[in-house]
Amino acid sequence: MTADIDVVVTGLGATTPLGGDVASTWEGMLTGRSGVSAMVGGFVEQYDLPVRITARLAVEPTEVLPRVEARRLDRCEQAALVAARQAWADAGHDDDSVDKERLGVIIGTGIGGARTLLEQDDLIEEHGLRKVSPLSVPMLMPNGPAAYVGLDLKARAGVHAPVSACASGAESLAWAWRMIKTGEADVVVAGGTEACITAVTMAGFIQARTMSSRNDDPARASRPFDANRDGFVLGEGAGVLVLERADFARARGAKIYGRLAGVGLSSDGHHITAADPEGLGQSRAISAALRTSGVAASDIAHVNCHATSTPVGDVIEPQAVRRSVGDHVLLTAPKGHHGHLLGASGAVEAITTVLSLRDGVIPPTLNLVDQDPKVDLEVVTGEPRKIDQIAAVNNSFGFGGHNASLVFTTV
């Protein structure tokens, strides 16, 4: 690692249940909109699923991408390409602004092309071999989103695809940070994507008893830290950030949103789906992010929490935050607005963390009416909180015990 290399954020792109771009997503966070809605018909009725609420994309990727291109991509690849192109344009890059040998891409996903796999399996069972698409494998492989974004940008410094469940998007940013800090790249386009609202995925989560069943009140179903929470809402989306070596960005006159100052990764070594009950792995990740950033815990103003609205998980994270950062920080949990985007969560929420620092405002946690007494830190709720802040933490945790924490600062 080269200590004197700073990593800055120069471009943002997103497509989420709140909107088809960063501006509409951020506006939805600040104004208290929900991206959760009821599903009518389709597989929820075919299989009589007890959960009939999801957080689907507000803007269909097929409305943005050329028709022929969209047909060759799985939905998670479509979303990634939409967000990546937004971020690249936002960063002010063109074909000649960076040596392609110095450009990397890292796009993570928790599940990948689940829709393609299931659709193609139906085709072979019903109609035989000849109906299966020759593009099936590129569409279903988890590295597909990263590969297609890499091809779109002609990146040659490396294209990678972390697959670490719900920590995938944040882990992608951590590895991008490392690529720049070690001198492997000047610019890395990094983030996460997910689009796996399918019968099998929902049924699996339902059987695991992790999803909210508030079918009669979709907008209020995802309620992080609330005493009456009953599980998460499955969502889909993509978030992509352009990270650059600071001196490279300044030399080309790029606007800079903020700095990715430090990263921390850890693993629980505890259980395939349950987090360490004391949050020890989570606190190690947060502490590592603080250590690599050089930012004092006392300078962290708020933590953008992973908090998915599950009864157990939402209690563990505040313990980890208190242990690693202290009791002075404010908490916020975006999943009340857009549900759980799985592998895309960390990247989309990194974007909201960056914007929070830029604008000096912390978005509220939607649907928090009665805070769980076991959550013993202050949570921003009701209205956005105006606050002077120089640094914040973004957390993402995933099945398998994956923990990823990021420290962002103002420039």
CB 61 within 8 A of CB 82: yes
Residue 166 is a catalytic residue: yes
Residues 76, 166, 196, 305: which is the catalytic one? 166
Burial tier of 96 (Cβ tally within 10 Å: 0-12, 13-18, 19+): exposed
d(CA 31, CA 407): 25
SS3 151: helix
User: Which residue, among 401, 167, 404, has the nearest Cα to 276 in the 3D structure?
Assistant: 401
* DSSP labels, 76-140: HHHHHHHHHHHHHHHTT--TTSS-GGGEEEEEE-SS-SHHHHHHHHHHHHHH-GGGS-TTHHHHH
| Residue (of 216, 205, 181) closest to 52 by Cα position | 216
- For residues 78 and 133, give the distance between their C-alpha atoms in angstroms, rounded to a whole number: 17
Sort strands 103-108 and 258-267 into parallel, antiparallel or unpaired: unpaired
Task: Write out the catalytic residue numbers.
Answer: 166
